[in-house]
């Protein structure tokens, strides 16, 4: 049921997932977010790219997906909202794959634009460990639909040195509005799923969402840092409504429910004429 049209943007919304997940009907990567946006007038589609393919492979797939959405809707462009690694794929699609003329805006959420200092340290481990893990992950993930999984390459792409090259090779495309969102956990045990990672990142990189530092997530003309209005904070999983519930019933200047935040983001895109 349509509650309002505050999210009825000029161009459709394309939600682009991150690494390790696919756009399956069950479970839905984005939790309640798509339905809440639709209830406020948004037209929503999904990226449907592989979960463990390289950034370049998925960027090509994303361009094909954009063309499919434009053909279905008759729109001239899309607004991309991308989580985690999906933000890098969106940036490459716009910058290096000649898709900029079909993209009005790119909003990245918890995307490691500057790589991970922590992951760069882990990558110093003998390559045989990553090779063994890649063999297991690649073979398993093919069973659920990945066409070109490359787990080891994806891991290597999170290194700071790789992202320095990536950023140099993929400058922001003229005519596309870029903005970014960084979630911050207030303490490691805010999200038990990411407690250890958050603890380690806090000591190496500073404030983070359990996987990506706030510093690395900043990109574009507008950079937003979000924190829950409780002592919990907002984790990498909270950014995509993993818990399917509000953070608290309290009110305040910080985010109470991640779906409210997405409504605000899309409403702002509408006001910008996108």
pLDDT band at 253 (very low <50, low <70, confident <90, very high): low
Percent of the chain with pLDDT strictly greater than 70: 96
Return d(Cα 227, Cα 63) in angstroms, integer: 32
CATH class of 13-271: alpha beta
pLDDT band at 11 (very low <50, low <70, confident <90, very high): very high
- Residue 39 burial (C-beta neighbours within 10 Å; 0-12, 13-18, 19+): middle
Annotate 126-191 with DSSP letters as a single string.
-HHHHHHHHHHHHHHHHTTT-SS--HHHHHHHTBHHHHHHHHHHSPPPTT-EEEEEEE-BSSGGGS
Return d(Cα 111, Cα 89) in angstroms, integer: 10
User: What is the pLDDT, as a whole number, of residue 130?
Assistant: 75
Whether the link from the prior residue into 44 is cis, omega within 30° of 0, is: no
What are the CA-CA distances from residue 105 to residues 137, 180, 266 (Å)?
33, 11, 11
Return d(Cα 263, Cα 124) in angstroms, integer: 41
- The pLDDT tens digits for 227-252 are 876 677 899 999 999 988 888 765 55
User: What is the pLDDT, as a whole number, of residue 200?
Assistant: 94
Cα Rg of the chain, angstroms: 18
Domain boundaries, the chain: 13-271
- The pLDDT tens digits for 176-212 are 999 999 999 988 888 899 999 999 999 999 999 999 9
Return d(Cα 101, Cα 95) in angstroms, integer: 10
User: What is the pLDDT, as a whole number, of residue 1?
Assistant: 65
Partners of residue 181 on adjacent β-strands: 109, 224
Return d(Cα 107, Cα 177) in angstroms, integer: 8
With H, G, I as helix, E, B as strand and everything else as coil, classify residue 91: helix
Return d(Cα 145, Cα 203) in angstroms, integer: 37
Question: What are the structure tokens assigned to 64, written together?
Answer: 């094909």
What mean pLDDT, rounded, does the chain reach?
Answer: 92
CB proximity list for 173: less than 8 A, separation 6 or greater: 94, 95, 100, 103
């Amino acid at each position: 049921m349509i509650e309002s049209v505050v999210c009825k943007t000029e161009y459709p919304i394309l939600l682009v997932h991150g690494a390790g997940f696919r756009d399956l009907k069950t479970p839905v990567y984005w939790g309640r977010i798509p339905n809440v946006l639709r209830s406020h007038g948004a037209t929503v589609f999904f990226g449907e790219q592989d979960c463990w393919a390289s950034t370049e492979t998925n960027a090509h797939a994303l361009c094909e997906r954009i063309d499919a959405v434009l053909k279905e809707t008759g729109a001239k462009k899309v607004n991309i909202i991308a989580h985690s690694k999906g933000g890098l794929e969106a940036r490459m699609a716009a910058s290096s794959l000649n898709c900029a003329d079909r993209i009005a805006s790119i909003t990245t959420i918890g995307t490691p634009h500057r790589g991970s200092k922590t992951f760069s340290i882990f990558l110093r481990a003998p390559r045989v460990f990553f090779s063994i893990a890649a063999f297991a992950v690649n073979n398993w993930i093919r069973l659920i639909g990945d066409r070109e999984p490359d787990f080891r390459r994806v891991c290597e792409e999170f290194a700071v040195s790789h992202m320095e090259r990536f950023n140099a090779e993929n400058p922001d495309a003229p005519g596309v509005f870029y903005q970014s969102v960084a979630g911050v956990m207030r303490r490691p045990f805010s999200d038990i799923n990411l407690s250890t990672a958050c603890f380690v990142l806090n000591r190496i990189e500073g404030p983070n969402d359990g996987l990506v530092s706030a510093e690395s997530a900043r990109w574009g003309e507008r950079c937003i840092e979000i924190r829950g209005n409780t002592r919990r904070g907002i984790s990498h999983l909270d950014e995509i409504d993993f818990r399917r519930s509000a953070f608290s019933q309290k009110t305040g200047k910080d985010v109470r429910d991640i779906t409210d935040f997405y409504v605000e983001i899309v409403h702002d895109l509408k006001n910008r004429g996108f």
